[in-house]
Amino acid sequence: GRKRSLEGKMVLITAGPTYEAIDPVRFIGNHSSGKMGYSLAEEAAERGAKVILVSGPSGMVVKHPSIELYRVTSAKEMMAKVFEFYEHTDIGIASAAVADYAPREVAKEKIKKKDEHLTIELVKNPDILKTMGEQKRHQFLVGFALETENEEENAQAKMQKKNLDMIVLNSLRDKGAGFRNDTNRIKIFTPAGKKEFALKSKEEVARDILDCIEAEILK
């Protein structure tokens, strides 16, 4: 048995990629499997929380009965689902890899192969986490940063810009970290400090993240 340290708390987690439709058969997406977010959801539920898991397309399944899973496809759908629950959220964790841009329009018919070049115009998607930060009241808000360069500076800048209480950095430079792997290597930043962790399974990483959140909340 584990400590029911999150009993009575509502935890809202985003997970997985988003798919932005180009035409009826194609999309812009990314390599997120959802594993990191689903591991966080399972661990929070084990600790007694009620969990709302808003997930982009993912093959992962939910096991714990205290997890309510909402499947979405695009960033706009993810945004809408998140804000159905945000007001009643105690802890928000954004582990989804949200597409920053989406095609300006979705072609009604499958785009035919024709010219040598094809241009698809993209427009910026809403930043879900940034909007959560702007509307933050009692919520404790945690973001992820997936970086390939200037990792620490970029992560800390994101924490500030999005008004977060904590940010979890994973680097695509670290072997075994980030997308799809069963493992991750993270650094956790709060406005007050930094903590580095070894390469671990995503289940163990989820425990480390929730331990840090609990320590901050109880401060």
The CA–CA distances, whole Å, from 115 to 14, 24, 103, 109, 110 equal 39, 20, 19, 17, 15
Catalytic residue status for 150: no
Residues 120-149 interacting with ligand PMT (rule: CB under 6 A): 125, 127-129, 143-146
* Contact status: 171 vs ligand PMT (CB under 6 A): no
Alpha helices in the chain (DSSP H): 35-46, 75-85, 128-134, 151-161, 202-217
CB of 182 to ligand PMT, least distance (A): 9
| Site pattern 148..167 for ligand PMT (x: CB under 6 A) | ----------x---------
User: Which of 12, 13, 94, 213: binder of ligand PMT (CB under 6 A)?
Assistant: 94
CB closer to ligand PMT, 12 vs 36 = 36
CB closer to ligand PMT, 48 vs 179 = 179
Dihedral sign of CA atoms 170, 51, 210, 131 in order: positive
DSSP string, 71-125: E--SHHHHHHHHHHHGGG-SEEEE--B--SEEESS--SSPPPP-SS-----EEEP
CB of 27 to ligand PMT, least distance (A): 16
Binding residues (CB under 6 A) for ligand PMT: these are 14, 16, 32-36, 75, 94-98, 100, 125, 127-129, 143-146, 158, 170, 178-180
